[in-house]
Structure 1
Amino acid sequence: MHRDTPTLAVIEPRGVSVRTVAYHRQSSTQTPRAHITQHTLDLAGRTSHSRDPRLFALHQDDESTRPNQTTLTSLSGRALLSNNVDAGWRLSLTGAADQALESWDEQLNHQRFVYDSLMRPLFGFEQVVGEAQRRTLCFSYADASTESARHNRCGQLIRHDDSAGTQHFSEFSVLGALLEQSRRFLESPEIPDWPVPEAERDQLLELQEAVTRAGCNAVGELIEHIDALGSVQSLRQTVAGELYETRVTLAGDVTPTTLVSQIQYNAFGQIEHQTAGNGVVTHATFDPADGRLKTLLAQVPGASALQNLTYTYDPVGNPVRISDDAQPIRYFRNQRIAAINTYGYDTLYRLIEARGRQRINASSGPGLPEFVSLPDANQLENYRQTFDYDAGGNLETLHHSADSGSGS
């Protein structure tokens, strides 16, 4: 199927790609169709217009067809105006230090930021069409006093007022890791207009404060996390800094519960072995040539496997077959039902077919599922799904086919 379906790039004299041609078909019997992506450059060689294959084809018949993306850049190369057919336009203005100053979107919503002499953000303002401007963000920083130095927070952000409430950052490690923070929420769910004095901001907040604490080792790795309810999460690392074990002690308890332990890694940092808190041991193998997952085995020691997955991929890394050897082959309503999922792709590597198994009369769709009794492991059936896309890669139709019912 992939025969005679190359991807071609058209390069202009400055070495920048202006067109990409990909050839598409879904089966070997079809004639490949060219999908052309177009880029238009400005005088400086920066992309100013882009069209995907769908809009490029429309543009050939109607020159008034808008590009997918239009970008107007400043002399420094910063995007000033971005106009997207899906997201709309957005205008952004920056300062001499490349800091964001103001922005407007297609709904004419306005954002503005104010900075101090060190170019740190102090306030953020938002204005929705038809409403007054609101100060929705406030930032406060620690000074260089002895008290600030004692908590390692000199120059650090210590207070952040946002649309949900206020966060305080009160303790840092020597390496700058955050050790203690607290959150107070707004009394009203409305978007705030924060006053400048901190005392007046505090009057808008609930009295209750949620405090979170953390502990780090000498190299800055997180080894303990205490949430607002008092539950303690403890983490152990290997000498290489990789997570080895995680335990949690719920608030009011004294005995920790192990969530995961004995985590082992290969030379690429991928997890090959781990033991869950319920005793389930997971083993994984990877292809040393490309790092792709080959097998995944989950079982309780001394018992039969709960899951034994084998993965097969196409040359570009898309999974084409996943089988579970831990599940038996079943027969129901003249169907042979194996625990195998297969996937098919077109020449653009988009998923066009999926096959697998499902419970009979399984509900699907946007509505809430109806009540069903406990599933019978024998009442399974095979299903097939097909996917169709437009030239731009947008999913247009999904068809689900099974003996118990089909639909799109």
Structure 2
Amino acid sequence: MSTSLFSKTPTVAVLDNRSLTVRDIAYHRHPGSPDVTSERITRHQYDVRGFLTQSADPRLHDTGLANFSSQTDLTGNVLRSQGVDNGITVALNDTAGRPFLAVSSISTAGVGMEDRSQAVTRTWQYEDTTLPGRPLSITEQVNGGAARITELFVYAGNSVEEKALNLSGQPVSHYDTAGLTQTISIALTGVPFSVTRRLLKDADNPDIVADWQGEDASDWNGLLHDETYTTLSIADANGAVLTTTDAESNLQRVAYDIAGLLSGSWLTLKGGAEQVIVRSLTYSAAGQKLREEHGNGVVTTYTYEAETQRLTGIRTERPAGHASGAKVMQDLRYEYDPVGNVLKISNDAEKTRFWRNQKVVPENVYVYDSLYQLVSATGREMANAGQQDSSSPTATIPLPTDSSAFTKYTRSYTYDEGGNLTQIRHSAPATGNSYTTDITISNRSNRGVLSTLTKNPSDVDTLFTVSGQQKQLQPGQSLVWTVRNELLKVTPVVREGDTGDRESYRYDAGSQRILKVSTQKTSNSIQSQYALYLPGLELRTTKAGATQTAGLQVITIGEAGRAQVRVMHWESGIPEGIGNDQIRYSYDNLTGSSQLELDGDGNVISMEEYYSYGGTAVWTARSAVEADYKTVRYSGKERDATGLYYYGYRYYQPWAGRWLSADPAGTVDGLNLFRMVRNNPIIFVDPDGLSPSLRTQLPGSNLYEPKLRTGEDRNRRGASHLIPSRIENSLVEGTPIKLEDALTEHALSTTPILTDLINPTKVSMNKVTRDILANKSMAGGILAFNAIRFSISENKDIHALRIVDSETSTYQTGEGTVAAAYWAPQGGYVDIPAHPMTGPKVVLTPGFSGCSFVADKLNEETIRVRHVQGGKEDLEYNNLTADEHGQGMIDAMEYRDYGYHHDSQGNLMENITGSAFMIYENDQWNLKYQSLANAPGISSLREESFGFFNKKTRLTGEIRHGEGKNVVKTKTLSLHH
């Protein structure tokens, strides 16, 4: 691809006299017309206080519309927001800053008028002021109708029994939209030992809505099904989960190395013997996976580009001596352009084939425009492939051996100025499989549908709900949504005067799917399929009428290395041609798509390749019955019978390359709430339907747009608050240690790094140090540091960083422990050399509980490191002048990075606090951070002498700490620039 296409296409920010960005200008060129450059301007307006009030993209601004407008209170909290994609919402907090009232699904009824006929009002109730103020319930009301209590919280008391189970004061019963979740016991570390789920009665009926009216559990439990599903866990003293027993008594066991990284995993099916899932793993010094061996004897190795650490190869093979014979099963090779776009993916394990005067190479080649949108992709597809739609692809059986199975294709993609994919052109000349898919985009929003639904842009908005949910999938296929904007029901087949086919869903309080029910009418009965999603387990049942014909347990291995491992155990109705307790190892590609499935002996079950936006290009299996049981496919997500992919918060239409509903996270990924992964699905991945996992890259560089998330976008939706452990105060002796010893990889992954002692109220400091810490100039500097190790118990330490100056005692200085480091003050910055030849090679900063740690490239010689305070992202970073950002952001650690982690059950937990530092190693700066659960603290430090003839000195810290593991997640960001 010619580099001239990207020449002189910068991203430009225009600032007003308050340094607020009022214009974002991008320059678009297409490879098909490289001499034509179009200027695309996104416009922003602000109120007199500097809060954003309106944004408009290039397409809608030309029609006189704004994508978003908002009104804020005096502190900047958004009270009312209006978006062309997601409608109008109103939100109010109480005096404590907690959610109090929210009204959504408000539409416009003319200039300056609102239509609340479909409005949903949600209210939160809390304990009174004599209690801690915990939430009690959430009530929902539709269009002024009867109020339903959709969520209810019950807390444990202070009885002897509750104390014995560590439950005192904890939320032990959560009644939600799916039923009841109960916490039966908790470890001192906060890890749930026993959790039970019960569903609503008739939960499979989509018309049943939870309403937890009544005075006590006797009223509420009457709405529940009798069956309970209990998940058990065992954790070590640090809080690391070692075993998990699912609701059907299948046990998963894991082990970790000294750095806290996975070293092996095992599975014991109920009544069976333990079997290996992951035999061994090897990591680099930076924590990147280099090699893993699974229980089927298959080995996967990973290679990385030395300069950028980008993944360049994934090789999966049966090694020499394997019982099934040595063979390379998959050998993926990645080639990138200088900014990280993938240009080519080849599979060297597959051979080049020749058919109908064409050379069919097992590779994909990609072309981008100057905005890094994918505009062309070439690859191979099955020779019998037809036009892509919502129907399930048919696998080629058995695995092909001749050259006539594959042919070449080219796909071209067209986008409008708002980033909407408007056309997909497919061409496979050798088989005549050529067609065009057109998407009609509204002239008043970014809502869009296939042209088979309408070709008139003025009609598109009528095919969506007020909040931006699509109401038809294909002509005649209706979509129904809950008041929480979750997909409730799809009717793929409608029969006039008769029962239609249907697929319905039920979700928990975090909007995560817990139940799927599919019904199809056969010649003489109704066949129903049920899928219940539990921690580490899917229970899938098939019924003909009221008679169960099959019962399948799918055990999903939580720690299986890179592969997704699923074990299929039939309780009844095992199909012919597939063995019971089959293990399926699914090996993925760069974006997590399941490409290769192997069995427990390392033999191929199936192979699948995908078009760029998710359709199936190649799909072959050794048997039809095994192909039918592959559900996890593109991007590692489940494909439903509707053809939709379920991502967690949204559903995705691969045949249209767009989401089915507006982004519930708002503008976290730009003004277009329907755009899929920034129109670059080759490098970007959306893990949950909220936003891609990578930042917005600046054209022509390795840098990113200097923008941190603000407001609610800082948070991760659906997280539960971490259950606090019991707090103790202990006097603990401290020992001065070298700064470098507190910053090793092992220390980072096991020991909390605290900055409590970098505080003039707790330790003595001279005036120079106090002035730097006071941050009067906003700029940091170079200070001398060491660390103090406090050993609370045999296996539990704390590392406290401290500044060494003229006020520091000789004992606290410690012999040979002191080293210089840069200091980035909270709310300020420090400038450091991009490649230090002499001087400090460490950057330290205060601990984090809502703040961000970000590095900008000022120029080729200097990096500016900022500690941005939570809630002040615009003031301290986003709205700074272009000169203060220099060439752009290298990378950042934000609250959503360190403030959350997944517990042993896969639940998203909010832990709030973290620690971070930067260190120069291997010719580059790395930003390293740790997420801390129930973070300890240091209340005071005192030094005392003892002994009469042989006087000694002792440091004692008053340490506030809980039981169990504090470091729950670590990560290293390589600051390539």
Give the TM-score, by structure 1 length.
0.95
Question: Within 1, Cα distance between the matches of 2:184 and 2:413?
Answer: 52
Question: Within 1, Cα distance between the matches of 2:344 and 2:79?
Answer: 46
Structure 2 match to 1:34: 39
Q: Which among 293, 309, 324 is matched to residue 311 of structure 2? A: 293
Give the partner amino acid of 1:158. V
Q: Please tell me whether residue 343 in structure 1 is matched to residue 366 in structure 2.
A: yes
Question: Does the 8 A contact of 1:215 with 1:222 survive in 2?
Answer: yes
Structure 2 match to 1:62: none
Question: Within 2, Cα distance between the matches of 1:372 and 1:177?
Answer: 46
Aligned ranges for residues 71-86 of structure 1 at < 5 Å? 71-86=70-85
Q: Which among 274, 284, 290 is matched to residue 266 of structure 1? A: 284
Question: Within 2, Cα distance between the matches of 1:327 and 1:336?
Answer: 13
Structure 1 match to 2:8: 4
Question: Does the 8 A contact of 1:359 with 1:375 survive in 2?
Answer: no
Partner secondary structure for residue 149 of structure 1: helix
Structure 1 match to 2:270: 251
Q: Which among 142, 161, 165 is matched to residue 151 of structure 1? A: 165
Q: Please tell me whether residue 174 in structure 1 is matched to residue 188 in structure 2.
A: yes
Q: Please tell me whether residue 406 in structure 1 is matched to residue 429 in structure 2.
A: no
Partner secondary structure for residue 31 of structure 1: strand
Structure 2 match to 1:359: 382
| 1:144 to partner: Cα distance | 2.8
| 1:53 to partner: Cα distance | 1.7
Question: Within 1, Cα distance between the matches of 2:174 and 2:286?
Answer: 38
Structure 2 match to 1:114: 125
Give the partner amino acid of 1:264. T
Name the count of aligned residue pairs. 401
Question: Within 2, Cα distance between the matches of 1:312 and 1:370?
Answer: 31
Question: Within 2, Cα distance between the matches of 1:289 and 1:14?
Answer: 39
Cα deviation code 1:300-357 (max 9, x no counterpart): 1111311111111112211111111121111111011111111111100111111111
Structure 1 match to 2:721: none
Structure 2 match to 1:19: 23
| 1:245 to partner: Cα distance | 1.2
Cα deviation code 1:91-123 (max 9, x no counterpart): 111111111111111231111110113221101
Aligned ranges for residues 207-356 of structure 1 at < 5 Å? 207-253=226-272, 255-302=273-320, 303-356=326-379
| 1:30 to partner: Cα distance | 2.7
Question: Does the 8 A contact of 1:344 with 1:354 survive in 2?
Answer: yes
| 1:373 to partner: Cα distance | 4.5
Structure 2 match to 1:193: 211
| 1:372 to partner: Cα distance | 5.4
Structure 2 match to 1:394: 420
Residues 275 and 80 (structure 1), Cα distance of their counterparts in 2 relative to 1, 3 Å cut: same
Quote the sequence identity (%).
34
Question: Within 1, Cα distance between the matches of 2:160 and 2:301?
Answer: 52
Partner secondary structure for residue 355 of structure 1: strand
Q: Which among 140, 158, 174 is matched to residue 154 of structure 2? A: 140
Q: Which structure ranks higher in relative contact order (CA pairs < 8 Å, sequence separation ≥ 6)? A: 2
Question: Within 1, Cα distance between the matches of 2:239 and 2:397?
Answer: 51
Cα deviation code 1:357-405 (max 9, x no counterpart): 1110213212344575435342211110010001011111111110221
Give the partner amino acid of 2:389. G
Question: Within 2, Cα distance between the matches of 1:71 and 1:126?
Answer: 24
- Consecutive unaligned residues of structure 1, counting only runs of 5 or more, are 60-64
- Of stretches 97-106 and 126-135 in structure 1, the one that deviates more from structure 2 is 126-135
Give the partner amino acid of 2:29. R
Partner secondary structure for residue 202 of structure 1: helix
Question: Within 1, Cα distance between the matches of 2:329 and 2:148?
Answer: 56
CA RMSD of aligned residues (A): 1.6
| 1:130 to partner: Cα distance | 6.1
Cα deviation code 1:115-162 (max 9, x no counterpart): 113221101111122631111110011123332221112221100001
Structure 2 match to 1:69: 68
Residues 76 and 119 (structure 1), Cα distance of their counterparts in 2 relative to 1, 3 Å cut: farther
Give the partner amino acid of 2:370. T
Structure 1 match to 2:632: none
Residues 23 and 281 (structure 1), Cα distance of their counterparts in 2 relative to 1, 3 Å cut: same
Give the partner amino acid of 2:263. Y
Partner secondary structure for residue 35 of structure 2: coil
Partner secondary structure for residue 418 of structure 2: coil
- Of stretches 221-230 and 303-312 in structure 1, the one that deviates more from structure 2 is 303-312
Partner secondary structure for residue 98 of structure 1: coil
**Runs of 4+ off more than 6 Å:** none
Structure 1 match to 2:400: 376
Partner secondary structure for residue 36 of structure 2: coil
Give the TM-score, by structure 2 length.
0.40
